[in-house]
Every structure is written in structure tokens, then in C-alpha cells.
Amino acid sequence: MLFVVDVYAIIHGLRNVIYTLNIKLYFSVLMTIHFFQIWVGKSLLRLRTFFTVHSIFYVWASSQKRIKNTLH
């Protein structure tokens, strides 16, 4: 009878350990995904800002060129 209780306790303990490890693993995976999403979002935002500034500059430069062409 004691043996069965011991085995049950060991299995229960292992299950608890595995459960807590799974929770920790789950949270670490979640945090990794979260940080990755933030990093990707920031990179995309930087790219978008770069392209916006670039296109504004391009439009400005082409308008300056057009003004120069009309003046000369």
C-alpha cells in the first residue's frame, strides 16, 4: 500500500514539475514572440518612416527641379 502511495506521490510530483516547466516554457515562448513582434514592428516602422521621408524628399526635389526648369 505504501509503495503505491509513493509511486503516486512521485508521479504527482513529476507531473507538477512538468506542469510548472510547461508554464515557464509557455511564458518564455510568449515573451519571445512578444519581443519579436515588437522588434519587427519597430523595424517596419523605421522602414516606413525612411520611405516616407525619402518620398517626401523626392517629391520636394522633383518640384524644385520643375521650378528650376520653369524659371530657366
| Euclidean distance between the first and the last CA atom of the chain, given in angstroms as a whole number | 105
Rounded to whole angstroms, the Cα distance separating 45 from 47 reads: 5
Break the chain into its structural domains and give their ranges.
1-72
Rounded to whole angstroms, the Cα distance separating 32 from 39 reads: 10
Which grid cell sits at 67?
Answer: 521650378
pLDDT value, residue 20? 85
Written as tens digits, the pLDDT of the chain (72 aa) is 566 677 788 888 888 888 888 888 888 888 888 888 888 888 888 888 888 988 888 888 888 887 777 765
Q: What share of the chain is helix, strand, coil (3-state, %, to 5)?
A: 95, 0, 5
pLDDT value, residue 13? 84
